[in-house]
Amino acid sequence: MVRVYLEDWEWDCCGDPFQVGDTVTLQVREPRDALRGMLGGALGSSLELTESHHEVDPDDVASRPLTGRVCAIAGIAIDHTEHLEPILPPPSPLAPEPVDPASSSGLGWFAHAPDARSPRLNEPAYTIVATPVDGTGRTVPVSRVPATARYGEPAADAGAPPAEPIVGYVVDLEPAGFSASA
């Protein structure tokens, strides 16, 4: 049996859904220490491989295919801290220039900046930054990967959504040609 970690975001966008009993081929590599630390404890140390069908970092090591039968699937949830960070507009070397409303759409825009009459102009914009808390990984029951229906897929095909937001999956895989009774 081999335990493989899968990122939720990768399976939300692409890859054929699968469930326990299916035979799958995953592109795997060794997990990073940061992933093990984020999950923590027995869960983090139980990971043998991680799957990725996207190269996300220049230093990603090459992956190799692993085919096997899915024996178990669990979603992974982790705790996060959240804080607000202001979104600052990019600096512009150009001074705003008014656009003639008669020759524009009349939406009140300047050529390089929002109209000064906009009530939102003086309101700061923020983004929420969520930072994972190391060592807080836990499993959440799911019926398949991905756990939720994708755009255009009947929701009934995915089953019930997870009880809490998930960041990934652990999949126990029996590699092809391997028998636990041997």
DSSP string, the chain: -EEEEEEHHHHHHSS--B-TT-EEEEEEEPPPHHHHHHH-HHHHHH--EEE-SS--STTPPPPEEEEEEEEEEEEEE--EEEEEEE-PPPP-SSPP-BPPTTTS-SS--BSSS--TT-TTTTSPPEEEEEEEPTT--EEE--SSBSSSPPTTS-GGGT-SPPSS--SEEEEEEEETT--TT-
Contact 74, 172 (CB under 8 A): no
Q: How far apart are CA 76 and CA 7, in angstroms?
A: 9
**Whole-model pTM?**
0.70
If one compares 23 and 80, the residue with the highest pLDDT of the two is 23
Among 107-116, 121-130, 139-148, the least confident range = 107-116
Q: Beta-carbon neighbour count of residue 106 at 10 Å? A: 10
pLDDT digits (tens, 9 = 90+) for 9-56: 888 878 888 999 999 999 999 998 888 998 999 999 999 999 987 766
* Average model confidence (pLDDT) across the chain: 77
Alpha-carbon dihedral of residues 91, 92, 97, 101, nearest 10 degrees?
-70
Spans of all domains in the chain: 2-81+133-175, 90-124
**What's residue 63's pLDDT?**
83
Mean per-residue pLDDT, 73-79: 92
Encoded tokens for 140: 């959440």
Closest listed residue to residue 138, CA positions, set 50, 52, 79, 81? 79
Is the pLDDT at 86 greater than 60, yes or no?
A: yes
Residue 178's pLDDT band (boundaries 50, 70, 90)?
low
What does the pLDDT read at residue 106? 45
* pLDDT attached to residue 94: 57
